[in-house]
Structure 1
């Protein structure tokens, strides 16, 4: 089953210097074992553009539409046997130590 890991931080969850680990060892391990299919950092929320429709026309605004403290700073797509395995993989992500990793299953038909 495929899962989306949303790598999030709200800016106030400052990591101690020893916690600011490079994610590359996690990426290498999950790529090597075949669970990580794709992933990337993304630009900060202030670089986002939101597209909505209002009165039948597109309405384009700068930044995220939702007002939230947590901001998505990256994502990974993993393929696991079940939610327990996905949670175990997410728990090993370095950002989980000082930020958060949201685990979401993909819809299946």
Structure 2
């Protein structure tokens, strides 16, 4: 899914009253293949903040905060099949935002 300039502009400056937090655990061959970098790039295009971190068991944990629509788009992208490596499944949890730093980082 391509993200247009208009979508990027629309998603920046999210109203904190409509923000949401997505935590996603990505299972598959997702470490050592550029998956975190790819996730960070997509999240920044969507105007999200958060992180993508390798876990010891081989999963990648993605935490993203921002507009619900942007988080839902990121989740679709994670499940979409155009990621580096191989995604077998993604488990998500939705919650209230906690106020992450204003960037998206790889850990």
Name the TM-score class by shorter chain.
0.3 to 0.5
Higher helix share: 2
Greater RCO structure (CA 8 Å; 6+ sep): 1
What is the TM-score with the length of structure 2 in the denominator? Answer: 0.46
* Bigger radius of gyration: 1
